[in-house]
Amino acid sequence: MQIKSQSSTWAGIFTLVSVLTIGFIGTYVYLMWQQGRATWLVYLVTAPFFAMGALLGYLGLRGFLRLLRFGHWHLDIAGPGAVGRPLQARLLPSRDVTPSGEIRCDLRCLNVTIVSAGKSQRMDTKTLWETSWTVTSATILKDLGLSLSLPVPASGKATTQGANGAGVKWQLTVHVPTQALSDEPIFDVPVY
């Protein structure tokens, strides 16, 4: 079973939201300016929106640069993991990657709940369990990958995430340092 990292999804979302935010606010300011109603108050009120659009644009561009540099990452596992047993996995890049230092792996068990307040909803994430470890590697070849052993504890909970995103999920983040730009692919790992 191959699990694709979430990197490209987030880069696309950040870039899209950035374009929409700057586009709508920019159009509003332009129309106010054309009508002669662009006072200092208009600029003051719209400045945080421009700043947020610029930040999201930066994060999206950074994500796309990582995709150009490293390509996509996959996590290859034989099947879902079992609580209390280590899960053997293989980290596969879409092109050869040479780390400049130790690779850090973070495995977390998260409980995601949906909190409703009137008509609005938000997701609240609580870490139930987490661990980190490092792996030393030379070049990670796209055909061979990097073998990992994910230490799933006996005290952990099984994956119960529903369609709305609420429930328990396991997430693996792999920090791969390189000379120019580090990459951090994130994977949702099924554990039952």
Same-domain status, 61 and 103:
no
Q: Is 137 helix (H, G, I), strand (E, B) or coil?
A: coil
Alpha carbon distance 175, 102 (integer Å): 9
Mind listing the pLDDT tens digit for each residue in 31-54? 999 999 888 898 999 999 999 999
pLDDT on residue 17 = 92
Same structural domain for residues 112 and 177?
yes
Domain shared by 111 and 136, yes or no: yes
Cα-based angle 107, 110, 116 (whole degrees, multiple of 5): 155
Q: State the pLDDT at residue 2.
A: 81
The answer to whether residues 93 and 149 belong to one domain is yes
Question: Which of 41, 69, 97 is the last residue in one of the domains?
Answer: 69
User: Do 78 and 172 lie in a common domain?
Assistant: yes
Same domain for 111 and 147: yes
Same domain, 167 and 129: yes
Query: What range defines the domain where residue 32 resides?
Result: 7-69
* Total domains present in the chain: 2
- Residue 138's nearest CA partner among 176, 187, 90 is 176
Q: Is residue 124 one of the residues assigned to a domain?
A: yes
Kindly list the averaged pLDDT for each block of 10 residues, start to end, along the chain of length 192. 78 89 93 90 92 93 79 87 90 88 93 84 89 89 90 88 83 87 85 89
- Same domain assignment for residues 63 and 93: no
87 in a structural domain: yes
Q: Report if residue 13 sits inside a domain.
A: yes
Looking at the structure, tell me whether residues 124 and 181 fall in a common domain: yes
Q: How far is CA 4 from CA 17, 146, 192, in A?
A: 22, 15, 19
Find the CATH number of the domain harbouring 155. Answer: 2.60.40.640
Q: Does residue 1 belong to any structural domain of this protein?
A: no
